Amino acid sequence: MSRKIVSLLLAALLLIGCLPALAEEAVTVVDMHDREITLTEPVTRIVAMQPSDCEILCAIGCEDALVGIGQYCDYPASITSLPVVQSGAETNVEEILALEPQVVLMNDMSQSEEQVKQLEENGVKVVVSKATDIEGVYYAIRMIGALMGKQDAAEAVVADMQATFDDIRAKVQDEGKTVYFEVSPLQYGLWTAGKGTFMDELAGICGLTNAFDDVDDWASISEEQVIARDPDYIVTITMYFGEGPLPVDEILAREGWQDMKAVKNGQVFNASDSNALSRPGPRLKDAAVELYNFVYGEAGEVAPAA
Amino acid sequence: MNDARSLRRERFAPVTYALLTAGLLLTMVLCVCVGSVPITLSDTVTAVWNALWGLPIPQNIAKNIILNVRLPRVLCVALAGASLSLCGAAMQGLLRNPLADGSTIGVSSGAALGAVIAMAAGITLPGSGYGGVMLTAMAFAFGSLVLILSLAYALDRSLATNSIILIGVIFTMFISSIISLVVTFASEHTRSLNFWTLGSFSGVNYDQAKLLGLALLVCGSVILRYSHELNAFAVGEDNARHIGVNVKRVKLIILITISALIGVCVSISGTVSFVGLVMPHIARMLVGPNHRRLLPAALFAGAIFLLLADLAARTLFSPIELSIGVVTSLVGAVAFVIIFYRTRKAG
C-alpha cells in the first residue's frame, strides 16, 4: 500500500517535473519588427549577425548554440573562431544555409525582402533584433532568452544591468554638467552622438547632459560649435593604432581648444578600449561604470558588477 | 598681333584686377564673419586685426573660433578653389575639351588613390609628416593623367571630347573601387571613404594653408606664363606648332604642373568635384576665351565659388556640417548638364 502511494507520488512528481519541459517545447516570440515567430522547440543552432546579439547570447550562456557570426562580431574573443557570414546588404543566403541554423538574428536595416524570404523558405527563421535604446536592449535580451529557452538567465542579465544603472543614478546629482562625445576625430571631420543614442542615455544615467542633445543620432558637426558649447567633459571613442599622438593627447593639443573647460581641466577620456559604449548589449553597464568613474573619479568608484 | 597695344588690350587692366581682388576679399570677410556659431562683428574684427599686427588678443571664445577654426579654413578653401579652377581652365584649353577637369577625367581620384595608399602604407618623408602623402598624390595624379590621355589617344588621335570623358568616367569608377578596397582593409590608417569621395575642409590648419599657398604660387605662375601657348592650343595643336610652340615640351610642363597642384589640393581636402569644371566656363562667359583673361578670372571665380559653397556647407544645417562635395556636386551636376547640352547643340 505504502509502496503504491510512494510510486504514485513519484509519478506525480515526475509529471510535475515534466510540465515546464513540455511548456518549453513550443516557443513563441514577437521580434523587434513586430512579427510573431513560433518554433517547435528552443533553438540549439543559431547565427547572429550583430556583435550585440552575439554578446547577449554569450551572456545568457548560449555560446555553444552559436554556429555563425556576422563580420564585426569580436566579443567575447572566444567566438571569433566561428564561421563568419556576410551581413547587411551583402547577406549571403547560401553561407547561412550551409551552417544549418534554426534561427538567424539580424537587424532589418539592409536585407532585402527576397533575402529574408529565401531564408524562411529554406526553414530558417529570421528574428529581427534592433535595439535603439536601453529599454530595447532589455527587450532583445528577453526575446533571445525566450528563443533559447533561457528566460531565467536573460532576466538575471537584465536585472544586473538595471541594478548597475540604478546604483549609479542613486550616487549622482544632475549638476548641469555637459559632455561631448567624439565619434570621429577632427582630421576625418567631427562626428558626435546626439539624442537617441546609447551614449546620450548613458550620459543621462551619469547625471550629465549631452552637449549635442539638439542633434538626432550620429551627426557630422562643426568644430566651432564644439568650442562654443564648451563642454565640461569630452569622451572620444577614437581607436588608437599605435601611430601619432594618443587620441586624448591629440584633443588636448588642438589649436583653439585650449581654453575649453574640458581641455583646461584635463577632462578628456578615451572610451575606445571597449566598444561597449556604442553596442546595444549587456556591456552597456560596463560603459556606464567607465563613464561614471571618469566623471566622478576614484572617490566614487563603482566596481563593475560581476 | 603681338604689339604692345593689343597685348595690353588682351590682358586685364589693373583696375579689373583690383575689382576682382576686392570681390574675393569681400567674400572672405563674409565667410570669416558668418559661421555656425554667431560671433559679433566687433569681436571678429578685433581678433583678426590684433592678430595681424601682433597686438595682444583678448582671451575669449571669438579668438579661438575665428583665428584657429574659421580663418585657416577660409584661407584653405579660397586657395583650393582658385587652384582647382585654374587647373580646370588650363586643362580645358590644353585638351580643347570643355568637359575636362580633374574630377571628370580622373586625375583627382588618381591623386586620392595615391594619398590613400601613402597613408595606408605609411610612406613619409623624413622631417615632414605629410610630405610623403602629398608627393605620392602628385605622382599618382600625373600617372593617371598620362594613362588616361594615352588611352584616349590610342582610341582616337584627335582626343575628342567624348572619348576622353568616357575613359575618365570609367577610370574614376575603377579607382574609386580600389580606394574603397584600400580603405576597407586599412581603415585605421587612412581617412574615411566619405572624405576622399566628397571632400572636406573640416579641421584644416595654417600649415596646410601655407602649403596650398606655396603650391598655387609656384604652379599658378607657371600656368599663367603659358597663357599665350594655351591660346594657341585652343585653336589646335597644329596651329600651335605652326606659330612656333614646342608642343611636346609645353604640354608636358602644363600637365605636370596641373597634376602637382591637384595632388596638393586632394591630399588636403579630398576630391572636391566640379569646381574646376564649372568655374572656368562661367569665367569664359564673362571674359571670353582668351587665356590671358580667362586664367586669372577662373582663379578668382573658383576661390569665390568654393568659399560660398563651404559657407553653405558650414551654416545651412548648423550645428550639422555637410560635406563640401555635396554642395559643389549639386550645383556642378546641373551646370555640367547645361554645358554638355549647349556644346552638343553648338557642335
CATH number of the domain residue B82 falls in: 1.10.3470.10
- Please state, in angstroms and rounded to a whole number, the distance separating the CA atoms of residues A1 and A113: 65
Chain B residues with CB under 8 Å of A189 CB are 192, 194-195, 200, 202-203, 321, 323
Asked if residue A11 belongs to a domain, the reply is no
Asked if residue B15 belongs to a domain, the reply is no
Asked if residue B17 belongs to a domain, the reply is no
CATH number of the domain residue A245 falls in: 3.40.50.1980
Percent of chain A with pLDDT over 70: 85
**A263 and A241, same structural domain?**
yes
Asked if residue A186 belongs to a domain, the reply is yes
* Counted domains in chain B: 1
**A152 and A35, same structural domain?**
yes
B59 contacts A259? CB cut-off 8 A: yes
- DSSP count for chain A of H helices, then E strands: 11, 12
Does residue A48 carry a pLDDT above 60? yes
Chain B residues with CB under 8 Å of A230 CB are 61
pLDDT of residue B333: 80
**A179 and A153, same structural domain?**
no
Q: Which of A189, A220, A224 is opposite residue B69, by nearest beta carbon?
A: A224
B319 contacts A215? CB cut-off 8 A: yes
**A282 and A204, same structural domain?**
yes
Asked if residue A10 belongs to a domain, the reply is no
**A180 and A92, same structural domain?**
no
Instruction: Say if residues B146 and B164 touch (Cβ distance below 8 Å).
Output: no
Chain B residues contacting A via beta carbons under 8 Å: 35-37, 59, 61, 64-65, 67-70, 122, 188-189, 191-192, 194-195, 200, 202-203, 205, 314, 318-323
Asked if residue A3 belongs to a domain, the reply is no
Chain B residues with CB under 8 Å of A257 CB are 64, 68
B200 contacts A224? CB cut-off 8 A: no
B189 contacts A223? CB cut-off 8 A: no
Mutation target to probe the B interface, by most B beta carbons within 10 A, among A214, A223, A239 is: A223
Place of cell 534561427: A103
Burial of B218 (0-12, 13-18, 19+ CB in 10 A): middle
Asked if residue B11 belongs to a domain, the reply is no
Asked if residue B22 belongs to a domain, the reply is no
Place of cell 563640401: B324
**A40 and A154, same structural domain?**
yes
- For the record, the C-alpha cell of B239 comes out as 596651329
Least confident window among A198-212, B239-253, B328-342 = B328-342
The sign one gets for the Cα dihedral B266, B269, B273, B276 is negative
Range of the domain at A117: 24-160
Instruction: Say if residues A134 and A201 touch (Cβ distance below 8 Å).
Output: yes
The C-alpha angle B152, B156, B160, rounded to 5 degrees, equals: 80
**A156 and A59, same structural domain?**
yes
**A28 and A155, same structural domain?**
yes
Confidence bin at A205 (pLDDT 50/70/90):
very high
Place of cell 515526475: A14
The better pLDDT of the pair A8, A249 is held by: A249
SS3 at position B157: coil
Q: Which of B36, B189, B192 is opposite residue A225, by nearest beta carbon?
A: B36
Long-range contacts of A3-10 (CB under 8 A, 24+ apart): none
Q: Choose one of A134, A160, A186: the last residue of a domain.
A: A160
* CB contacts < 8 A (A, B): 83
A257 in reach of chain B (CB within 8 A): yes
Does residue A237 carry a pLDDT above 90? no
A255 contacts B205? CB cut-off 8 A: yes
- Please state, in angstroms and rounded to a whole number, the distance separating the CA atoms of residues A173 and B146: 65
Asked if residue A6 belongs to a domain, the reply is no
Residue B7, CA atoms < 13 Å, CB-side half-sphere: 5
Asked if residue A167 belongs to a domain, the reply is no
Confidence bin at B1 (pLDDT 50/70/90):
very low
Asked if residue A15 belongs to a domain, the reply is no
| Contact residues for B192 (Cβ-Cβ < 8 A; gap 6+) | A184, A188, A189, B183
Within chain B, residue ranges assigned H as helices are 4-10, 14-33, 41-52, 61-62, 71-95, 107-121, 131-155, 161-185, 193-198, 206-225, 227-235, 237-242, 247-269, 275-287, 291-315, 324-346
* Counted domains in chain A: 2
**A148 and A76, same structural domain?**
yes
Does residue A69 carry a pLDDT above 80? yes
**A183 and A293, same structural domain?**
yes
A187 in reach of chain B (CB within 8 A): yes
Give me the torsion for CA of B249, B254, B255, B256, rounded to 10°.
Answer: 90
Mutation target to probe the A interface, by most A beta carbons within 10 A, among B61, B69, B198 is: B69
To the nearest whole angstrom, how far is the Cα of A255 from the nearest Cα of chain B?
6
**A131 and A239, same structural domain?**
no
A246 in reach of chain B (CB within 8 A): no
pLDDT tens digits, B290-328: 999 999 999 999 999 999 999 999 898 888 888 888 899
A195 pairs with which residues across the strands?
A216
Max CA distance (Å), chain B? 64
Assembly ipTM: 0.70
Chain B residues with CB under 8 Å of A239 CB are 188
Instruction: Say if residues B6 and B286 touch (Cβ distance below 8 Å).
Output: no
Q: Choose one of A126, A160, A194: the last residue of a domain.
A: A160
B69 contacts A223? CB cut-off 8 A: yes
pLDDT of residue A305: 46
Within its chain, how far is the Cα of A170 from the centroid? 23
Q: Choose one of A110, A133, A160: the last residue of a domain.
A: A160
Chain A residue with Cα closest to B193: A188
Within A130-177, residue ranges assigned H as helices are 134-148, 151-171
User: Is the model's pTM score more than 0.80?
Assistant: no
Asked if residue A16 belongs to a domain, the reply is no
* Average per-residue pLDDT for chain B: 85
- Please state, in angstroms and rounded to a whole number, the distance separating the CA atoms of residues B85 and B300: 8
Chain A residues with CB under 8 Å of B122 CB are 243
The C-alpha angle B259, B262, B267, rounded to 5 degrees, equals: 120
Average pLDDT over residues A273-281: 78
Of B217, B220, B254, B218, which Cα lies nearest the Cα of B234? B254
To the nearest whole angstrom, how far is the Cα of A24 from the nearest Cα of chain B?
44
**A149 and A266, same structural domain?**
no
Range of the domain at B62: 28-346
Asked if residue B105 belongs to a domain, the reply is yes
Please provide the distance, in angstroms rounded to a whole number, between the alpha carbons at the two ends of chain B: 28
Asked if residue B16 belongs to a domain, the reply is no
Does residue A132 carry a pLDDT above 60? yes
Least confident window among A266-275, B20-29, B105-114 = A266-275
SS3 at position A129: coil
A214 contacts B191? CB cut-off 8 A: no
pLDDT of residue B46: 84
Chain B residues with CB under 8 Å of A190 CB are 202-203, 321
